[in-house]
Amino acid sequence: MPQAATALLAVVLIYAGTTIPDTDQWLPLLGHRSIVTHSLLIPGLILLRWPMVGGMLAGGFAIHLAADLLSRKWVGYALVKLPLAGSLGATGSQLFLAANVLLGLWLYHRAAAMSGAARAAWATFGAAALLYFLVNERWWLLAVPALVLALLLARWRR
């Protein structure tokens, strides 16, 4: 795909990926930080049919879950919930979210390679991560290492 088309597709899918996780608050049976939406289950299912779309969506999830990892207190609201079966606990929630962030980054990396315009895909990812942290979490400094990582990966891809 051309660079511009890749960037546009990445913007849309990353935006969707950062937005979907917190829809659990409005869905029946799912509490906040439900394991159903705070994991790569949804992008994973999409990926089975549309690998690049699912991979880019996973990148958006990774950004959201990375931001969730910055919770100050690991109690109640912050914990990852199982449907009707309690939560993963403090350590379990952090490990679970971290594992999903790493997996999401890897899936995004694969999707970026598939697009044939990895640099555009990673530039978009870096910009999206920066904006997300800046607007939603104010932990924007974390976007700096994310951006550096993205640029390194983009260089390495060539």
Footprint of Zn ion (CB under 5 A): 21-22, 68
Least separation in angstroms between residue 23's CB and Zn ion is 10
Least separation in angstroms between residue 79's CB and Zn ion is 11
Q: Is the CB of 67 or the CB of 123 nearer to Zn ion?
A: 67
Q: Report the C-alpha gap between 158 and 133 in whole angstroms.
A: 28
Q: Is the CB of 38 or the CB of 119 nearer to Zn ion?
A: 38
Q: Where are the alpha helices (DSSP H) in 31-117?
A: 41-49, 51-68, 89-115
Least separation in angstroms between residue 64's CB and Zn ion is 6
Q: Is the CB of 48 or the CB of 135 nearer to Zn ion?
A: 135
CA distances from 30 to 25, 68, 75, 140, 155 (A): 7, 17, 17, 29, 40
Least separation in angstroms between residue 148's CB and Zn ion is 24
Task: From 138, 131, 17, select the one nearest 70 (Cα to Cα).
Answer: 138
Helix (H) or strand (E) holding 153: helix 143-157
Q: Is the CB of 122 or the CB of 132 nearer to Zn ion?
A: 132
Rg value, the chain, Cα:
15
